[in-house]
Homo-oligomer: A and B are copies of this chain.
Amino acid sequence: MNEVELKAVYDYFGSIEKETLFLTIEDVKRLLTPQLAFSCVEKAFYYAGSKKGVQMPQKIYFSYHDGDMRVMPTVVDLGGEVITGAKLVSIHFNNREIGLPVVVGFFVLVDSATGSLAFVCDATFLTAMRTGAASAVAFKYLFQDTRKKVKLGLIGCGAQARTQIIMMLYIADISDILIYDISDEAVKSLGDFLSKLRVKFSVAKDLRDFSICDVVITLTPSTSPFLKPEHVANAKLINAMGADAPGKQELYPEIIRESVVIVDDTEQAKHGGEINVPLSEGLIDDSIIFAELGEIVAGKKRVPSGGRIIFDSTGIAILDLFVGWGLYKKALEEKIGMKIKIH
């Protein structure tokens, strides 16, 4: 192969006049306010529920010796404008040993007209915020006792607890927060965080203390149930955020059977959500699922009044798509980020 030959082929494959916008995690923090996270995630649930124009396959899982990676591509036709993106997010438990977060990822937005890479950003903070925002959207649409101040309980004091609190403070009128974790260190660290926030909080001695809470959010990687009916005696809403893979489980099946179950995605919830273990054991069946949260947000179904509601969250790709797209548009407006021509 000589230079002349190579030049002929290189000349044929010209570059295209498309730029890619890059945001660092610091840029993402500046742009991704609780308000933006909430509005994007609410919109995402609306489109997920309306189903029109949404192409969202199940997450694709890859396994590593110390964790996994999930590839989450989605295309949504807004009617005219089409948005296309994917999040690639990994869980590496070994990250802890080198002082990195366990969940690290990035988001790419594709130019739906040409196929070029429109936008790339870190998705570590994005993932944490959109998951918190999913809880907040669930609260807005599923919690019915709107006049009182809310006693909020959080079980699990890891990274996700921070953004759950930020997003719940954004949407709800919270009187105090009760926290719990099997790790004293995790409890102390979240306590320090809450002190900085100047929010009234207390540490639960055991799970029975949660019986006074109006809303309980579970955030653990547990694979055996720990939350019993008496622990949630007064809870009108349980956001079960922890279980997102087969075998994971936080609630005793009795709680699920007594509640109205709202999922983020029916197939994913059956496969790896809070209901996956009792479903596979035949303790409940599919009919336990009352609706997807998107169907409630889109006004296609109404939550029955009075009972306790469980929001079974697995994390859906369309949430990342709308938050990523929202970040992209806001970054362009505010002229934040770096433009590079890779194509």
The residues of A with any CB-CB pair to B shorter than 8 Å are 1, 4-10, 12-13, 15-16, 22-26, 29, 33-35, 55, 57, 60, 62-64, 69, 71, 73, 75, 82, 84, 86, 88-92, 94-95, 98, 100-101, 103-106, 108, 110, 112-117, 120-122, 124-125, 128, 159, 162-163, 166, 169-170, 193, 196-198, 338, 340-343
Contact = CB atoms under 8 A, between A and B. Distances in A.
5 contacts: A5-B166, A8-B193, A13-B29, A15-B122, A64-B82
Contacts of A60: 57, 60, 73
A35 B1 CA distance: 9
A261 to B, nearest CB: 29
Given A10-B125, A69-B84, 16 more contacts: A1-B33, A1-B166, A4-B196, A8-B162, A13-B25, A13-B101, A13-B128, A13-B162, A24-B340, A24-B341, A64-B112, A71-B71, A86-B88, A88-B108, A90-B115, A108-B108
- Specify how many copies of this chain sit in the oligomer: 2
A172 to B, nearest CB: 12
A163 B5 CA distance: 11
A330 to B, nearest CB: 16
A104 B116 contact: yes
A266 to B, nearest CB: 19
Contacts of A5: 166, 169, 196-197
A299 to B, nearest CB: 27
Contacts of A193: 8-9, 12
A343 B92 contact: no
B343 A1 contact: no
Contact of A4 (B62, B103, B125, B198): B198
A340 B163 CA distance: 27
Contacts of A115: 69, 88-92, 95, 103-105
A343 B55 contact: no
A75 B62 contact: yes
A6 B166 CA distance: 8
A1 B113 contact: no
A69 B62 contact: no
Contact of A110 (B1, B9, B90, B170): B90
B16 A101 contact: yes
A24 B69 contact: no
Contact of A340 (B29, B73, B338): B338
Contact of A71 (B25, B29, B73): B73
Contact of A15 (B26, B106, B117, B170): B26
A342 B121 contact: yes
A114 B92 contact: yes
A13 B104 contact: no
A16 B104 contact: yes
A116 B112 contact: no
Interface centre among A5, A13, A120, A166 (most CB of B within 10 A): A13
